[in-house]
Amino acid sequence: MTPFKSRWARPIALLAVLAVVASCGLPKVGPNKSQIYSGSVQKDGDAFVVEVNDRVTAATAFVPALGFADSFNSAATLGSDTIQPGDVLGLTIWENVDDGLLAGEAQNATFLESVQVDGSGFIFVPYAGRIKASGNSPEAIRRIITERLEEQTPDPQVEVRREAGDGSTVSLVGSVGAQGVYPIERPTRTLSTMLARAGGITIEPEIAQITVLRGGSQGTIWFNDLYTNPRSDIALRGGDRILVEEDTRSFTSLGATGSQARVRFEKQDLSALEAIAQVGGLVSSSSDATGVFVFRNEPAEIANQVLGRSDLVGDQRMIYLLDLTAPNGMFKARDFVIRDGDTIYVTEAPLAQWNKTVSAVFGSLIGPLANIDQLAN
């Protein structure tokens, strides 16, 4: 061995050992592709690792449906003069006799003010008895009262009018322009018009959800469905409670991405490509575009379809792999649907880890490097 080679053999060997030791202890953003694959079922792990293709995309493209039950959709729009429980009526009854059933002496008109429709929809009128008012118009109620009084007083004349009442109202809370209690009136008999009456919504329409609670039932729809699907613009009923809130779905972003956080959905149907863009995209200096993983607990029926099996029972741990560098990798990422609770993890490129090793070793040895030869000898 020449004196030159002998002189530098020890320092080079020392640097090699330090590089190996440093690479083992360097911090990482998470597991690499090999470590993820080591936990797969194929290697006695408990998760299925599946590369995304068109068939997988079609099998997993499941977005929870929102909508109203038939009881909401089949409810007819209330007429502008339809009486509801809680409404307050005013009645005037004229009789063609001096000494009538209701009028006092020397009077032929009787005024019954503030007659409230009870919770069962009835009112009580002296000598006419208990009358079903809810669901009827003032004109229909007038005819009923007239028919019943005709048997006891000749040719009665009846007037029925609706006064200001608080029965036919709905309450609006959440992300609306003006929360409060609003009456169901001629311009506000449907869900969309009532929302407009309250000042509209104050959140992005794309992620706005509208929930209507009616008695013991409730239904939820996307705000945009009010305009794309007219059937969703249901007729309102007194006592309805309307809640406007943001979509609560979220996913988690980890690894070599622009942001590592729990992230809310920004639209109804979110693709993997859009989710990555939403967190700032991949990091050019460290991300491995061939190792974009989506972790998810998949229902058995979907897992069986994805894997071409029929024996799986219960939720399955699934890991979907997206290779953005493949010829159609970007299209696959654009079509793959992200669901609530998913974890998107981007692995670190091997070169990025090597750069850390080199930086750690040479960065920490810049000072002592001049003394390596002395230490080796």
pLDDT of residue 99: 74
377 residues of the chain, pLDDT tens digit each: 555 455 555 655 555 555 554 455 556 667 888 899 998 888 888 999 999 999 999 999 987 778 898 888 888 877 667 787 878 888 999 988 877 777 766 678 888 888 988 888 899 999 899 999 988 888 999 999 999 998 888 888 999 988 765 557 899 999 999 999 998 877 888 999 999 999 999 999 999 999 999 988 999 999 998 988 888 999 998 889 999 999 999 999 998 888 889 999 998 889 999 999 999 999 877 889 999 999 999 999 999 999 999 999 999 999 999 999 999 999 999 999 999 999 999 998 775 554 555 555 555 444 444 444 444 54
pLDDT of residue 373: 47
pLDDT of residue 334: 96
Q: What angle do CA 337, 326, 293 make, to 5 degrees?
A: 45
Q: How far apart are CA 112 and CA 346, in angstroms?
A: 75
pLDDT of residue 3: 56
pLDDT of residue 110: 87
pLDDT of residue 354: 45
pLDDT of residue 195: 96
pLDDT of residue 367: 45
Q: How far apart are CA 327 and CA 318, in angstroms?
A: 24
pLDDT of residue 239: 87
C-alpha separations of 341 from 59, 154, 189, 305 in Å: 18, 74, 37, 20
Sheet holding 180-183, edge to edge: 180-183, 169-174, 241-246, 208-214, 217-222
Tally of residues, the chain: 377
Contacts for 84 with CB less than 8 Å, ≥ 6 apart: 78, 117, 121, 134, 135, 167, 168, 184, 237, 238
Residue 278 amino acid letter: Q
pLDDT of residue 370: 44
pLDDT of residue 7: 59
Query: What three-state secondary structure class fits 213?
Result: strand
